[in-house]
Structure 1
Amino acid sequence: MRVGLLITEFKEKKVCDLCLGADIAARDLGVELVIFPGKKIITDQNFHDDKPYEYQYQAVYDYIYEAGFDGLVIDIERIGKEAKILKKESFLNQFGKKPMLVLSDMEGFDRVEYDKNDSDFEIGFLAIEQILKKISGNTVKSRKQVLKEFSAEAALNAIRKTSALFEFASQCSYTKDNYDFILSKITNAGFKDFELFLLERPQLCSIKKGWQVPKHSKRIITIHEGKAEKIDKVKYMDTSDIFDLSEIKGTKIIRNVFRGEEQYGFFIMGFDESVRIGDFDDLMTSIVLCGIRINFLKKCLVDTEEELLQCQEEIARDGSVLDHIGDEDYLTKLPNRSGFFAKAYDLLKMSFKNGKYAVVAYIDMESLKNINAIHGHDEGDHAVCRVADILSEVFGENSVCGRIRGDEFAVIEVTDEEDKAEELRIEMARQNNKLLMENTKYLNHLIYSICEFDYEESLSLREMLKETDDNLKNMRRMETLG
């Protein structure tokens, strides 16, 4: 049984007491309780220019829609404290026909029944009992407990956590392995249950256009019962499944991590008494944002460095000014160097996915300089066009084939067939022999390298081309030695 508790924030003692009571009842009755601290409903009246992004907090409620909640308990009085009645009704109606109880009188909505002398802690108990009755039709009772004072030891533990988090914030830098750093600091701070999710890219959330819960997210850190695990090469999961797949048992809190209009990810944290320090939850969120954002910045930096290296490599390999003009080779009508790379990047982005293979080939006309020198450039141009025809015949129309240098071609193809590279090597050998035999005036000999790559999320075009080029250089070396 999964129940959502929608609150404002833990800064208010009454809200903390409510959550503590609901947590005890939920654990006693075997209910998975998820707490959503979404602050307040934003309206034109309470929108402040000095806090322009407070609306972001409310987006956390949207995870409820597709996440399989059996019922909701909503502290509508505090969430909608500054909103008009129609705005509060609209907020509640967005959850449809899902079983729901509110904590204060709202016409048309069922309220948790309690006495005016009941504390917020006791109301938390009653809310869980009554939402279960509304869901199942059966009356259940949890074992009542008295709210304990926030002990000196508990306060000290919470202070240790905040101190460790402050240390984390002060030491963040671009040079650290941020996942490992966040992980060590969170575990050292005493967190027993924590899961951090990263989006594929920052997602905009606008107060005018709203947002949509990201369809996919990647769990990159898991701390379960005090044991930490860094998760590598995990595929993006459906965000609607995050609670089903969570390893955190008992009551948990979910928070979005955002900066300005951009959401970077979110985290799920096991609920404990640390929330009784009012700013602890917000501090935790801010520091996690710091680590995630540094990770995105580092990724952008790495991508930029790779792009610069790619440009340097292209320029270093290219001896012809003509290859920088336009996207088409003037002689063969194939893509030139810039055209090849543009089309290759597009092909990989569109087609290179799980279960696919990329075949990359480099083809070198090692005889071209001699042909030009002995028989003239017209004959050399004819030889180049003949090779272009052969490559089009071997690799077919589904590949991207380009003349990337005067005497060099490159080809890339994305295929479902494993070991397709071997078939292409056999066909290239056949065509190469045919090419050697068809001209009696000179030898038009090709050296080529064809490599095949399984899909990997981190695999770049630059890496594939470099491996293929290195293989071609080794083949040239072996031919020389032979």
Structure 2
Amino acid sequence: MRVGLLISEFKDKNVCDMCLGADIAARDLGVELIIFPGKYIITDKNFSDDNPFEYQYQAVYDYIYEAGFDGLIVDINRIGNSAPILKKEAFLNQFGKKPLLTVSEIEGFDTVKYVKNTESLEIGYLAIEQIIAKISGNVVKAKRKKISELTAEDVISANNKISAMSDLASRCSYDKDNYDLIIKKIAVAGFSDLEVFLLESPRICSLKKGWKVPKHSKRIITIHTGKSEKFDKRKDMETSDIFDFSTIEGTKIIRNVFRGEEQYGLFIMGFDNSVRTGTFDDLLTSIILSGIRINFLKKCLVDTEEELLQCQEEIARDGSVLDHIGDQDYLTSLPNRRGFFAKAYDLLKTDFKEGTYAVVAYIDMDSLKNINAIHGHDEGDNAVKRVASILEEVFGKESICGRIRGDEFAVIGVTDEEDRAEELRIEMARQNNKLLMENTKYLNHLIYSICEFDYEDSLSLREMLKETDDNLKNMRRMETIG
């Protein structure tokens, strides 16, 4: 049985005590308990310009939807301490008909039953017992344990973990996904159970646009019962499965890792005395963010260096530096990368306005490297020119189509016709099938992503291209799985 406990934050001693009671009861009764520290519902009263990204803590609750929870316990009074009753009700209603108990009374929802002045530790016990009864219909009783006060040794242990992690984050380096040294050092730092997940690229989470739980994430660090575990091949996994495949036994805590509007990853850790120190949870999150971001930036640097080397090879092979310095691709007569971006910015500046839609596409010639390797570069050039003619036919002269890399094209257009992207996807599918059929020597196969964006004042070309590129990466991933 899997139960989620939704709390505000561990800085509150009463919250910590309730989690302690729930943890002991869950272990005794065989319940998998997962704690979600999501801080507070954002309202006009508690929103601050000094910390404008506080809303992102709430995003951690979204992992509940597809992760197979049997029931939820929600500390709604603290999570919604500044929120009006309608916001609290909306927060609780988002979880649908899933068995749910609130820690404090709210009309229309079942509440954990306890007498006035009951200690928070006991409320934690009662919450687990009563959610089991609500889910299964069985009345159960957990064994109570005496909990000692937080000791100086506990605080020193938590500080040592933070200190070791901080030193490690500052030394973090990217080496082709080789995290073995990092894992061993974190284990030595005193962490018993910890799993860190990395996203392929940062995901935007904003108040205006909201966010979606990333479909895939890569587990890069696993420490189980104080020992590091090595993964020879770290593959992307479904984010909805992270609890099913977690190596951490007992109660877990899950946290997102954000910087500004961007999520870089997430982590799951075993619940222990460290969180009772109050600031441990937030400090750990910040340090893991630092390590992940340093690692991500160094990975970007490696990828950029590889791209530069590829460009140098292309220039050497083409024998025409002027084509790369100018704004036109020598082979297709389409704009090159430089020309495409210049024209795209001009188009958006003049045509993208209220009531219009920007359609952005990325097209990848998935087979070009094989064509060049097997049939020669002349045949590869013919394949590139054929794709360029198809894109001009599909997207028309009103759009800007460019060859931004040897095997990649980008397209942008502005239209007042809503859902134009769907029409283009249908036509691209038809042309792609036709392309596959027309050559008997080789497959000229395209992977493409076409996205449509409503006009927004703050929407940038970079954001549109990034979302379209992310979709293309998902297409590549699906092609690989398929």
Matching residue of 1:131: 131
Match among 347, 364, 373 for residue 346 of structure 1 = 364
The 1:304/1:116 distance shift into structure 2, 3 A limit, reads same
Deviation at 1:155, TM superposition (A): 3.2
Deviation at 1:45, TM superposition (A): 1.9
- Cα contact 1:6–1:75 (8 A) shared by 2: yes
Deviation at 1:223, TM superposition (A): 1.0
Matched, 1:285 2:281: no
Matching residue of 1:116: 116
The 1:388/1:175 distance shift into structure 2, 3 A limit, reads closer
- One-letter amino acid matched to 2:61: Y
4+ long deviations beyond 6 Å: 173-178, 334-339, 362-365, 395-400
- Cα contact 1:327–1:335 (8 A) shared by 2: yes
Matching residue of 2:448: none
The 1:135/1:388 distance shift into structure 2, 3 A limit, reads closer
Aligned counterparts of 1:299 and 1:65: Cα–Cα separation in 2: 32
- Cα contact 1:360–1:411 (8 A) shared by 2: no
- Cα contact 1:362–1:411 (8 A) shared by 2: no
- One-letter amino acid matched to 1:98: K
Matches within 5 A, 1:307-322: 307-320=307-320
- One-letter amino acid matched to 1:66: E
Aligned counterparts of 2:320 and 2:195: Cα–Cα separation in 1: 53
Gap regions ≥5 residues in structure 2: 341-361, 390-405, 409-439, 443-472, 474-482
- One-letter amino acid matched to 1:42: I
Matching residue of 1:157: 157
Aligned counterparts of 1:97 and 1:54: Cα–Cα separation in 2: 28
- One-letter amino acid matched to 1:186: I
Aligned counterparts of 1:282 and 1:106: Cα–Cα separation in 2: 29
The 1:84/1:124 distance shift into structure 2, 3 A limit, reads same
The 1:323/1:263 distance shift into structure 2, 3 A limit, reads closer
- Cα contact 1:24–1:125 (8 A) shared by 2: yes
Aligned counterparts of 1:318 and 1:328: Cα–Cα separation in 2: 9
Matches within 5 A, 1:314-463: 314-320=314-320, 326-327=328-329, 329=331, 346-348=364-366, 358-361=370-373
Deviation at 1:183, TM superposition (A): 2.0
Matched residue SS, 2:229 = strand
- One-letter amino acid matched to 2:373: A
Aligned counterparts of 1:158 and 1:396: Cα–Cα separation in 2: 61
Matched, 1:105 2:123: no
The 1:310/1:93 distance shift into structure 2, 3 A limit, reads same
Matched, 1:78 2:96: no
Matched, 1:21 2:21: yes
Aligned counterparts of 1:65 and 1:336: Cα–Cα separation in 2: 45
Matching residue of 1:31: 31
The 1:34/1:119 distance shift into structure 2, 3 A limit, reads same
Deviation at 1:358, TM superposition (A): 4.1
Aligned counterparts of 1:411 and 1:211: Cα–Cα separation in 2: 31
Aligned counterparts of 1:307 and 1:16: Cα–Cα separation in 2: 49
The 1:337/1:47 distance shift into structure 2, 3 A limit, reads closer
- One-letter amino acid matched to 1:347: M
Matching residue of 2:392: none
Deviation at 1:87, TM superposition (A): 0.7
- Cα contact 1:399–1:411 (8 A) shared by 2: no
Deviation at 1:245, TM superposition (A): 1.1
- One-letter amino acid matched to 1:183: I
Matching residue of 2:54: 54
Aligned counterparts of 2:234 and 2:175: Cα–Cα separation in 1: 24
Query: In the TM superposition, what whole-angstrom CA distance separates every residue of 1:128-149 from its partner, at most 9, and x where no partner exists?
Result: 0000000001100101112222
Matching residue of 1:262: 262
Aligned counterparts of 1:286 and 1:74: Cα–Cα separation in 2: 25
Aligned counterparts of 2:289 and 2:74: Cα–Cα separation in 1: 27
**Sequence identity (%):** 66
- One-letter amino acid matched to 1:239: T
- Cα contact 1:220–1:232 (8 A) shared by 2: no
- Cα contact 1:178–1:291 (8 A) shared by 2: no
Matched residue SS, 2:263 = strand
Aligned counterparts of 2:187 and 2:104: Cα–Cα separation in 1: 39
The 1:392/1:327 distance shift into structure 2, 3 A limit, reads closer
- Cα contact 2:172–2:182 (8 A) shared by 1: no
Matched residue SS, 2:244 = helix
Matching residue of 2:274: 274
Query: In the TM superposition, what whole-angstrom CA distance separates every residue of 1:258-282 from its partner, at most 9, and x where no partner exists?
Result: 0000001100101111101111011
TM-score (norm 2): 0.70
Matched residue SS, 2:203 = strand
Deviation at 1:361, TM superposition (A): 1.9
Aligned counterparts of 2:225 and 2:96: Cα–Cα separation in 1: 35
- One-letter amino acid matched to 2:153: E
Deviation at 1:231, TM superposition (A): 2.8
The 1:282/1:182 distance shift into structure 2, 3 A limit, reads farther
Larger gyration radius, structure 1 or structure 2: 1
The 1:264/1:149 distance shift into structure 2, 3 A limit, reads same
| Stretch deviating more after TM superposition (295-304 or 6-15) | 295-304
Deviation at 1:196, TM superposition (A): 0.9
- Cα contact 2:10–2:278 (8 A) shared by 1: yes
Q: Figure out how many residues of one structure are paired with residues of the other and give that number.
A: 374
